[in-house]
Structure 1
Amino acid sequence: MPCKFSIVLLNYNGKKYIDNLFESLINLDSNGFTYEIIFVDNDSKDDSVNYLEQKYQKLIPSLKIIKSGRNLGFAGGNNYGVKFAEGEYIIFLNNDTAVPPNWLNELSAFIDQKSDFGIISSKLVFFYDFIKLNIRTQDKVILSTNITINGEAYRIDPKFTKNVLYGEKEITCFGHTTIYIPLLQGLETSYTIEFDHVKIHDEQTDCWVLNEQEISMDKTITLDQDYISSNRLTLIQNAGSGINEKFDGYDIGFCEIDQGQYNRSVELDSCCGAAMLIRKETFDKVGGFDQRFFMYYEDTDLSYRVKRQGLKLYLCPTAIIRHIHTGSSQEWSPFFVYQIYRNKLLFIFKNFPFATFIKQFIKYLLHVVKEVFTTRQKVSLKKSKVKAIFGFLRLSPYYIGAFKSKRGVK
């Protein structure tokens, strides 16, 4: 039977994610179709390949382990993996994910319903479920950013907070602050959450609020397994992607509680490269990922090129994936900032009128000047934003040539 799906997994120093991902892949159901798994290692230094070969090669006969020999980035690494694909459909899947047994079946059924699709995006939810912790105060409460969850060190993630002032060592909480605490040890256990310190204003009014019940504000919160089972929440990471008026990419539904609000198929503006399906024929026709993006915006650029073929992008809401998110690069690190800002300029240049690009380029220059001379931001981040301009300009000969070619200019 011909191979229907080729699942391309790109890895860079992701040994710590292998067990979660491959234990889930082992349990995949396939109803009348075949699939292969192509593991592309981008020259990791953490023994990822050796670990995978020893533990999973014999368990997954269809597993192909490909070594790129150097770090080709997200775009180049995935393009390299597709060269070894035999499937009719390519699925790009991040290595910091886990899939349910019915995932491929749901995608296969969806394909049969949408003959006009160009790319199909799975629905991504955060890897761990959460407990919602509210704070009630008439003034403010100060908490440590560092806590322990069942003895495991954890730093409160700002994206899992609402109505807080986030600092390096402390967060300041106001009335109706919300903090989502991840259930790092799963659901089959009780939890002890301990803050390094808690500074309250008024012992009579300041309190934790758990499931509408007020409890005294101590450093330690203990929750039994029944409470965890009844009150766990799933947060959405991506139910499709889009571009706002500033050309910033965003995740639809990001950090919303999953209450079924994205449980229907919709047409999308762009798809997230963490979990997208595309016909191999379509991928080859549009030239694959543009490797000059390296990583970030390459999936959005691919989405726009596929749409220009007259094809549509869809969300498959029943194909649900657990995703840790920013597994390969630290969010808002200097590397992350450089790639995001440089690649946004490339994306605008390639996909929008030249006048739009010039306007946005000038805006970005002014933004960088302001950041460098008038803000107290870290020097490393300021340098990354400046470097992003020169990073774009170094690639400009290619894009100017492509721009002229597209308009018939010699």
Structure 2
Amino acid sequence: MTTAVVILNWNGRTLLEKFLPSVVSLSPEANVYVADNASTDGSVDVVKQKFPEVKIIQNRENGGYARGYNEALKDLEEEILILLNSDAEVTPGWLRPILEIFENENNVAAVQPKILDYNRKNYFEYAGAAGGYLDKYGYAFCRGRIFETLEEDHGQYNNVANIFWASGACFAIKNQVFKKAGGFDEDFFAHQEEIDLCWRLNNLGYRIKFAGNSSIYHVGGATLSNINPRKTYFNFRNNLYLLLKNLPSSQLIPILLMRMVLDGLAAFRFLAQGKFSHFFAIFRAHLSFYSHFSAIRNKRKNIAHKKEYFRINSIVSSYFIAGKRKFTDLKN
């Protein structure tokens, strides 16, 4: 299978210098690309000078993760596209298990490897861990990560498993399926656009897989830190976009109403902690959601709705009330 590893970059010169060598040396099965989102820090020159074997795609503007990748991938012809964050270190043999899944299972659209923490290499990393799921109210969680609790890796997820969504930190997808599904929704700009795409893939009848015998190490927060209120804004707004676009019609109104309540509780939790910028980020996220409600709702007509999409009823109550901190503690 012809394969492309595509790294989206925006003013990430230092990250490219640090992590691109591992990608180049440990990805012999793939063509390596850097897709640059109109950087101004000399990133492109560094790649040209230090990594002549890497192909460069230059986007005209910084359209975030969603538009950046849509632009970068539209003319690529490789059968498998692997979207890799610029702050990720790959490991020997990381590509082979991913490609074997695609070769052996025709109905698989996307695959994610094990994502471990670059700074604590025996722990899972927040952005994807060992594969993602949603609860009934649209909250994302992972095998190996629920909210802020990260599990230590003891090999407990070293299997091939069906998951609901694959992480954008390392997202492998069939080229023809990516284009058939319409790529990423550019209204998301950044954060959760991969979950939206995976939901659409699930609704189209494809499977998403986790490859437990493939690993990468991810810094996380290198572009936008977890403590940045802008990330809070995107996560809350885009999660509402996700639900409005993809929920079955029978569940849409009751779940959105419940989310109003739950998001309000989250906002006041930030307020009680003195995190005022995050409180206002949730407020702004809801204002943006309401102002774009009609435009996002209009996209529903292009979605084939799937009735049962969630693994558990509420990860919020499981985590904060029942005290379940590990994926293995949850009931199907």
TM-score by length of 2: 0.82
User: Per-residue CA shift, 1:309-339, capped at 9, x if unaligned?
Assistant: 2111111112211111122101131110110
Instruction: Tell whether the 8 Å contact from 1:8 to 1:93 is kept in structure 2 after alignment.
Output: yes
Aligned to 1:378: 275
Instruction: Tell whether the 8 Å contact from 1:293 to 1:343 is kept in structure 2 after alignment.
Output: yes
Question: How many Å separate the matches in 2 of 1:330 and 1:402?
Answer: 30
| Greater strand share, structure number | 1
Instruction: Tell whether the 8 Å contact from 1:368 to 1:386 is kept in structure 2 after alignment.
Output: no
Unmatched runs of 5 consecutive residues or more in structure 2 = 305-332
Question: How many Å separate the matches in 1 of 2:101 and 2:297?
Answer: 39
Letter in 2 for 1:242: Y
Aligned to 1:361: 256
Instruction: Tell whether the 8 Å contact from 2:24 to 2:32 is kept in structure 1 after alignment.
Output: no
Question: How many Å separate the matches in 2 of 1:5 and 1:396?
Answer: 38
Pick the aligned partner of 1:344 from 236, 239, 255. 239
Distance 1:290 1:29, change over 3 A: closer
Aligned to 2:295: 398
Letter in 1 for 2:123: L
Instruction: Tell whether the 8 Å contact from 2:134 to 2:140 is kept in structure 1 after alignment.
Output: yes
Question: How many Å separate the matches in 1 of 2:104 and 2:299?
Answer: 36
Deviation at 1:38, TM superposition (A): 2.1
Pick the aligned partner of 1:47 from 26, 33, 42. 42
Letter in 1 for 2:292: L
- Would you say 1:300 and 2:195 are equivalent positions? yes
Aligned to 1:18: 16
1:202-213 matches, within 5 Å, as: none
Deviation at 1:28, TM superposition (A): 2.0
Distance 1:395 1:100, change over 3 A: same
Instruction: Tell whether the 8 Å contact from 2:243 to 2:256 is kept in structure 1 after alignment.
Output: no
Question: How many Å separate the matches in 2 of 1:295 and 1:385?
Answer: 16
The root-mean-square deviation of aligned C-alpha atoms, in Å, is 2.3
SS at match of 1:284: helix
Deviation at 1:403, TM superposition (A): 3.1
Question: How many Å separate the matches in 2 of 1:383 and 1:294?
Answer: 20
1:111-122 matches, within 5 Å, as: 111-122=102-113
Deviation at 1:387, TM superposition (A): 1.1
Aligned to 2:134: 243
TM-score by length of 1: 0.67
Pick the aligned partner of 1:88 from 79, 82, 95. 79
Letter in 2 for 1:38: Y
SS at match of 1:10: strand
Unmatched runs of 5 consecutive residues or more in structure 1 = 131-233
User: Per-residue CA shift, 1:252-294, capped at 9, x if unaligned?
Assistant: 2132221110111111111111112111110010100111111
SS at match of 1:242: strand
1:204-283 matches, within 5 Å, as: 234-237=122-125, 238-254=129-145, 255-283=150-178
Instruction: Tell whether the 8 Å contact from 1:9 to 1:40 is kept in structure 2 after alignment.
Output: yes
SS at match of 1:266: strand
Instruction: Tell whether the 8 Å contact from 2:245 to 2:303 is kept in structure 1 after alignment.
Output: no
Question: How many Å separate the matches in 2 of 1:29 and 1:359?
Answer: 47
- Would you say 1:38 and 2:33 are equivalent positions? yes
Q: What is the percentage of aligned positions where both structures have the same residue? A: 26
Instruction: Provide the aligned length of Structure 1 versus Structure 2.
Output: 295
Deviation at 1:239, TM superposition (A): 0.6
Larger radius of gyration: 1
Question: How many Å separate the matches in 2 of 1:39 and 1:396?
Answer: 34
Instruction: Tell whether the 8 Å contact from 2:244 to 2:297 is kept in structure 1 after alignment.
Output: no
1:99-114 matches, within 5 Å, as: 99-114=90-105
Letter in 2 for 1:80: E
Distance 1:16 1:373, change over 3 A: closer
| Greater helix share, structure number | 2
Question: How many Å separate the matches in 1 of 2:215 and 2:153?
Answer: 12
